Amino acid sequence: MNLQAQTALFAAFITLAAGLAVIMRRRRTRAWISFALLNFTLFVWQVSTFLRDVAEETLYYRLALAAAALVPAASFGFFRAFLERRDALTRNLVLGSLVIGGLLLAGSVSPLGDKRVYHLLVGVYVFPALYACTAMAWWARRSEASAVASTRLLYLFVGGVLVVSLNLLDVLARAGIRVPPLGNVGVLVYIYFLSQMLFRYRLVDLQDLVAKGLVVGVLAVLLTVIFSVLTVWVGGDRPGMFFFNALVASVVILLLFAPMRDAIETRTRTLFFPRAAALTELASNLENRVATAVEPRDIAGVLVSGFCSLDRVTAVSVYLLDEDAEAFERLGYHGEPPAARIELLRHRALADGLRSHAPALLRETLERELEEGEDLPIEEREHRERVLSSLSDMQASACFPMRVGDEVTGLLNLDDSARAEAYAQDEIEAIARLAQRAALAAETTRLFERREERQRMASLGEMAASLAHEIRNPLGAIKGAAQYLDRAAEEQDREFLGIIVEEADRLNGVVEKFLDYARPYSVEPQSTEVNRLVERSIEIAHADLPEGITLEFRPGADLPDVPADAERLHQVFLNLIRNAAEALEQNGRIWVSTGRQRSVPAALLSALRPGREPGGKVEIRVWDNGPGIPAANRTKVFTPFFTTKEQGTGLGLAISRRIVEAHDGDLLLRGRPGRKGALFVVRLPVVASRGTLS
């Protein structure tokens, strides 16, 4: 059995398997069916070629001629379906090739099939027809507007011409010309390439396939050389030495395989696909840089600045999920401004899409599924359209979830507006690894910040006790001396002594607040109706409101009771209302509302944080229509002694948070995108039906 017969048999089984794989698919398009028919035709031709070379009987020779005569018709049919041509010219080409193929088939089974002239006639028809078939891809490329589709058609044309030429050389080899029989190998490679075009859809994945093929080819040659050097030179008359060298060769190959593969893959990608190599290398470098960042915004800055350096990224943005799992908040971006906040209740489809463990959500994939999924249910079509809308809001063509374990803690979004298929599969995997490393770094910085806050508060408490006593003792002496002198002082001096007493009282108040903040809080909660609690605070606040300031209460209905120390919480609500009033100008307004915690549904929360349950708390919201809090100050408002008021102590909000936390609740500052004013939210646990906390 010669080499040509062996490759024909191997190619026959591969084409048969490729055809059956298409037929067994659930959804079959015209292009897929025509691809299966082409494979079955090639199977018959290659089996008959194998039998002809092995048995050397006239029957198999005629069968090979008949099958070869039908290959152009199957090829024209596939190219017409794949290129989605519906014009009269391509239809006539298919019909004409069927007619000519049928006539040649009839001639092959007749006595003409034994004539050399007839064999030449079949060859004169088949090879020009196949070249004409591949030319269809070239002509389609000339009218194609998309650069991606144009490149895909160029690959199709060049590969087709090469395969037809290799098979033409096989015919010349049968005529006595010494050329290697590569025609069947070329058919196998081209069939595999066509199947990837049909099923993968993405051009960049095809480029990745070419790169891996080059790597495998070079690696196979090098490993063959190693094995040959260590075994073939021994000869067959020394079997013991042969097996020993074969063992040595195997060990050497095992040791060298991984480093050689990595080195060859790196050099191949750098040489043939430098843009892909640059992006993969950048992602690897950024993994090391994000690990050294100390704040989430620093991590976002590293990612944004890194990807901005590539011409393949026209827009990049980084989002982190807030602590309440209500929205993704933007930390940094480059390019067209994306949405500052992605509310999960408005972008439910995006959260559902992140539920899968796919490395990324790709706009091109969603658009292709909508374009080709004519039989998709309405719900699935609408779901994909909503995910596309979310990607548009974030200016993203690829959305990479930042995961810590199974939890999605953020998003890394990239866009390349110049290319529809921007990133290959290995690039997507590299960026996904980077997104995971960034998520771990962000979570680490958050945990570190909380630990630092606890340590700072503990140190502050210890310092407060000693410092307050050191201040209060001389402060009492100063006040007492001023009051003593006031009895005998002249009228003009009493004004200054009054200032001393007044400032001493004010400073004593600051010390009292400082001590109040530093000491551990103990509350005596009782089951309390939240609307009545808040309403009482509002009645007290009304007496101190400046003229022209309006305070409105919006009570929620059917709210459960909360475990509350009323006096302590009155202090919190009064402080929030007072702060809002001081920030307002004439005719300002303050609103206070009560209601259930505005949490995302359980199904939506589980998509991002498996195993977590949505909050079951009562919210008290205090907001105003004033100038709001500058972004630079939003992270500092609960820090002790931070204040923007001339007479402020900077302890009001810090103390309020301590009181709320003593109730197992939360005091939060929330953003109000597109609106004026500041919004503070107090969350308190509810009393369960048996009197326990929920």
651 and 665 co-located in one domain: yes
Token duo for residue 624: 């105003």
Do 228 and 145 share a domain, yes or no?
Answer: no
Three-state secondary structure along 20-49? HHHHCCCCCCHHHHHHHHHHHHHHHHHHHH
Same domain, 85 and 179: yes
From CA 81, how far away is CA 191, in angstroms rounded? 16
Same domain, 265 and 212: yes
283 within domain boundaries: no
CA distance 190 to 183: 11
Residue 374, helix vs strand vs coil: coil
CB 541 within 8 A of CB 573: yes
- The answer on 78 and 92 residing in a single domain is yes
In sequence order, which residues have a C-beta less than 8 Å from that of residue 679 and are 6 or more positions away? Answer: 621, 622, 623, 669, 670, 671, 672
pLDDT at position 531 is: 93
* Beta carbons within 10 angstroms of residue 585's beta carbon: 11
Residue 439: name the closest of 400, 465, 404 by CA.
Answer: 404
Same-domain pairing of 109 and 181: yes
Radius of gyration of the chain (CA): 39
Can you give the pLDDT at residue 65?
87
Same domain, 606 and 573: yes
Are both 429 and 538 inside the same structural domain?
Answer: no
* DSSP 8-state class, residue 686: P
Question: In b/e form, how buried is each residue of 42-81, taking b as 16+ CB within 10 angstroms?
Answer: bbbbbbbbbbbbeeeeeebbbbbbbbbbbbbbbbbbbbbb
Give residue 393's pLDDT. 93
Q: Do 50 and 194 belong to one domain?
A: yes
Assigned domain for 286 exists: no
Last residue of a domain, one of 272, 307, 322: 272
Are 650 and 564 found together in one domain? yes
Domain assignment present for residue 693? The answer is: no
Query: In which residue are the tokens 């239809």 written?
Result: 91
For residue 670, the cross-strand partners are 679
Give yes or no for a contact between 633 and 609, defined as CB atoms under 8 angstroms apart. no
Cβ atoms 190, 160 nearer than 8 A: yes
pLDDT at 694: 40
CATH of the domain at 510: 1.10.287
Which stretches within 291-362 are classed as H helix? 296-308, 348-355
- In this prediction, residue 100 carries a pLDDT of 92
Is pTM, for the whole model, over 0.75? no
pLDDT at 693: 39
How many degrees, rounded to 5, is the angle at CA 352 between CA 348 and CA 355? 145
Same domain, 620 and 662: yes
Q: Is residue 499 part of a domain?
A: yes
Q: CA–CA separation, 639 vs 666, rounded Å?
A: 15
Find the CATH number of the domain harbouring 603: 3.30.565.10
Residue span of the structural domain in which 130 resides: 3-199
pLDDT at 310: 84
On whether both 100 and 172 belong to a single domain, the answer is yes
Answer for the pair 349, 380: CB distance below 8 angstroms, yes or no: no
Domain boundary among 179, 199, 219: 199
Q: What are the average pLDDT values for consecutive 10-residue runs of the chain, which has 694 residues?
A: 76 87 77 90 89 79 88 92 85 91 87 83 91 89 68 83 88 69 81 74 55 65 67 58 70 75 73 77 89 86 90 90 82 91 86 80 84 76 91 92 86 82 77 92 81 70 70 79 79 80 80 69 84 92 86 90 90 91 86 79 52 68 88 79 73 85 87 74 77 39
